[in-house]
Amino acid sequence: MSIIKVESLVKKFKEFKAVDDISFSVEAGEIFAFLGPNGAGKSTTIKMLTTLLKQTQGNIELNGFNTLKQSSEVRRSFGIVFQDPSLDDELTAYENMEFHGVLYGVPKKLRRRRIKELLTFLELAERRDDLVKTFSGGMKRRLEIARGLLHHPKILFLDEPTLGLDPQTRNHMWSYLKDLNAKEGVTVFFTTHYMEEADRIAGRIAVIDHGKIVAAGTAADLKAQTKTDSLEDAFLSLTGKTIREEESGHLDQMRLRRRAWTGRR
């Protein structure tokens, strides 16, 4: 059964096509990697999949629900770790976890237990009552991941979850996720720039570039298709070697949208 179904998805910001007519599906229980250079349209796609952004055209079904028409059912089906920070700096680590747990309806007993486990697991237990604004970048990232794992949804979206994490924590996190996937059948949809990570963990991979999906299949398929022997080489062969413009910042995107919205230049 396809738990994520995307048909002819298009997202335009003014004239710029961030996502240009993509279609793909992810099976329930799969670990799916969504790869692409900076600015390829990964995060925009995830935002549409998670109801945070409305598409210009096309159709998305998540867990059998339409993201535009049944957004609350959709939101009950997934969890997400965002690429950019989404913590409340004025709250403590524990309060951020607690807030998330209540928001996602995790029952009190289970919530308390998991918060304790996850904070210990990501080595934040000693700092649990400190305000997040006193945390280092790496600690904030670990807290975001701990928070994302607090409830066990049908689908878990992870947008570059391992960015800025040390190999130990990365390893830790993936073994936890694999366990979750095996034991509870949670579908995992993630993006990353670490190709060996995708190679090792993902069942299937889709590569997106300039808003279009340029290849999809298992890591072996992609290597065979490009006649390369590592996923990194396959990726470079599919997307070229030129360095991309950094993805336009959050603020730039907002300005773009506001201009689009008010019709001002």
Partner 1 sequence: MRIIYILWLRQLKRYIRSKARIIGSLAQPLLFLLSFAYGFGPVFARAGQGNYMEFLAPGIIGMSIIFTSIFSGMEIIWDRQFGFLKETMAAPVSRFNIMIGRTLGGATVATLQGVIVFLIATAAGFRPVNLWLLPGALLIMLLIALLFTALGTAIASLLDDMQGFQLIINFLVMPLFFLSGALFPLQGLPSALVLVARIDPLSYGIDALRILLVNLGHFGLMTDVLVLSGITVLLLAAGSYFFSKIQV
Q: Which residues bind partner 1 (CB under 8 A)?
A: 47, 50-54, 72, 75-76, 78, 80, 82, 84-91, 95, 98-100, 102-105, 131, 250-251, 254-255, 257-258
CA angle 27, 149, 154 (to 5 degrees): 30
- At closest approach, how far in Å is the CB of 110 from partner 1? 15
Nearer to partner 1, 83 or 239 (CB): 83
Nearer to partner 1, 99 or 221 (CB): 99
Nearer to partner 1, 105 or 167 (CB): 105
The whole-angstrom separation of Cα 253 and Cα 250 is 5
The whole-angstrom separation of Cα 119 and Cα 142 is 9
Pick left, alpha or beta for residue 46 (phi over 0 → left; psi -120 to 50 → alpha; otherwise beta).
alpha
Q: What are phi and psi for residue 215, nearest 5 degrees?
A: -165, 155
The whole-angstrom separation of Cα 154 and Cα 181 is 10
E strand or H helix at 259: helix 250-262
Nearer to partner 1, 56 or 226 (CB): 56
Q: What is the CA radius of gyration of the chain?
A: 19
Nearer to partner 1, 10 or 91 (CB): 91
Nearer to partner 1, 47 or 204 (CB): 47
- At closest approach, how far in Å is the CB of 54 from partner 1? 6
Name the token pair of 120.
């210990």
- At closest approach, how far in Å is the CB of 124 from partner 1? 17
Per the CB < 8 A criterion, the answer to whether 73 and 153 are in contact is no
Q: Which amino acid is residue 75, in one-letter code? A: R
Q: How far, in whole angstroms, is CA 107 from its chain's centroid? A: 25
- At closest approach, how far in Å is the CB of 123 from partner 1? 22
Nearer to partner 1, 54 or 200 (CB): 54
- At closest approach, how far in Å is the CB of 42 from partner 1? 16
- At closest approach, how far in Å is the CB of 18 from partner 1? 13
2-13, strands of its sheet edge to edge: 16-27, 2-13, 57-62, 65-66
- At closest approach, how far in Å is the CB of 257 from partner 1? 7
